[in-house]
Structure 1
Amino acid sequence: MSDTNFVDSHRLSAAFVANQLERLVEVIVTQGNDMLDAAGIRFPSRTVSTVLFVGENAPTSTADIARALGQPHQLATQRVDLLTQLGIFERISDPDDARRKLLRLTPEGRDQFKVLTGRLEKAGQAFETLFAEIGCDLPAVSRRAADALHESSLLTRMKAI
């Protein structure tokens, strides 16, 4: 990354992989917001997976979103509230449970969803060229690393050295 900092060149830099990955995430989020803005999409990139899920699974609940995306319920609630305020989602009564509210796209949300899916196709292609350029299937490597750490924690690995 061009935004190097103290830990990037430090002899202990391998211990700061989370720092480096967080900075990569911020670059992707910022550029994702730019991509969405250029397409006239009014919601932030960090909410894209929520919009995609509701667009493909409506009507659905906030709990369903949190479970499907592997997010804490509080985070899913914050994103749903924002998307509702922006007029992308609307709450409707659950016909099977009067106490429960379900979510679906508004008419504007459906329009934004159509644009979004086209942009995601192009973004996926752009990322594929990036992965070829850097010689790494980053999502696959990321999943393998997470799986390996779930299998054997960092602390377990340190004790084995």
Structure 2
Amino acid sequence: MTHDYLRDAGIKTLGTRIRRLFERLNSNVTEVYRHEIGFEQRWFALGMLLHDRGPMNSRDATKMLGQSHVAMVQVVRAMEEAGYLERKADPKDARSKILHLTAAGSEKLEQVSSISQIVDQAAATLLAEAAPDFMKQLDAIDDALDRSNFAERIQTVFTEERQHS
């Protein structure tokens, strides 16, 4: 086995290791979606949200998915260009648009759902083998960050270090 600098560096490279893990998982799933049905994996969350909850404005979708405004704009634009989503005027707010899946988008999401079940099974076997409590731990990290975000935690350590200097 080759030397893994990031693993050996420990907590110093936590963010980089998480990003690397994400890329290893995500790139494989992206290829499956592209190869099997011509769908971009990054559209999955918004597509499923609209499929499950119905039309909504992008501000609400952004909040529900915990994504940045910029990321949401990119996904909306790409899905719209692919013919899977359309934006319609919000009757309650002229400045806002309501996101709707098109008929083609709804049909594609049905195909995505069947592949997603296979991806979910593969993920479950990976977690069962390597980290059975991973989802609980991930929830715990999310909850802790909701209580105090990482920037606040960094500032706390800076403050404590300055007080002890």
TM-score by length of 2: 0.80
Structure 1 partner of 2:96: 100
| 1:87 and 2:83 matched | yes
| 1:143 and 2:142 matched | no
SS in 2 for 1:39: helix
Structure 2 partner of 1:9: 8
| 1:31 and 2:28 matched | yes
Pair 135,25 (structure 1): closer, same or farther in 2 beyond 3 Å: closer
Structure 2 partner of 1:122: 118
Pair 139,41 (structure 1): closer, same or farther in 2 beyond 3 Å: farther
**Equivalent residue in structure 1 for 2:37, among 12, 34, 40:** 40
**What is the deviation of 1:121?**
1.8
Instruction: State the AA in 2 paired with 1:7.
Output: L
SS in 2 for 1:100: strand
**What is the deviation of 1:155?**
5.6
In 2, the alpha carbon distance for the partners of 1:48 and 1:130 equals 21
In 2, the alpha carbon distance for the partners of 1:96 and 1:71 equals 24
Pair 136,17 (structure 1): closer, same or farther in 2 beyond 3 Å: farther
**What is the deviation of 1:56?**
1.6
Instruction: State the AA in 2 paired with 1:8.
Output: R
Identity of aligned residues (%): 24
In 2, the alpha carbon distance for the partners of 1:75 and 1:3 equals 35
Pair 151,47 (structure 1): closer, same or farther in 2 beyond 3 Å: same
In 1, the alpha carbon distance for the partners of 2:52 and 2:81 equals 20
Q: What do you get for the CA RMSD once the two structures are aligned? A: 2.5
Asked whether the 8 Å contact 1:41–1:115 carries over to 2, the reply is: no
Instruction: State the AA in 1 paired with 2:141.
Output: A
**What is the deviation of 1:69?**
0.6
Pair 151,56 (structure 1): closer, same or farther in 2 beyond 3 Å: closer
**What is the deviation of 1:95?**
3.4
**What is the deviation of 1:97?**
3.7
Note the residue ranges of structure 1 that are not aligned, 5 or more in a row. Answer: none
Pair 113,154 (structure 1): closer, same or farther in 2 beyond 3 Å: same
Structure 1 partner of 2:18: 21
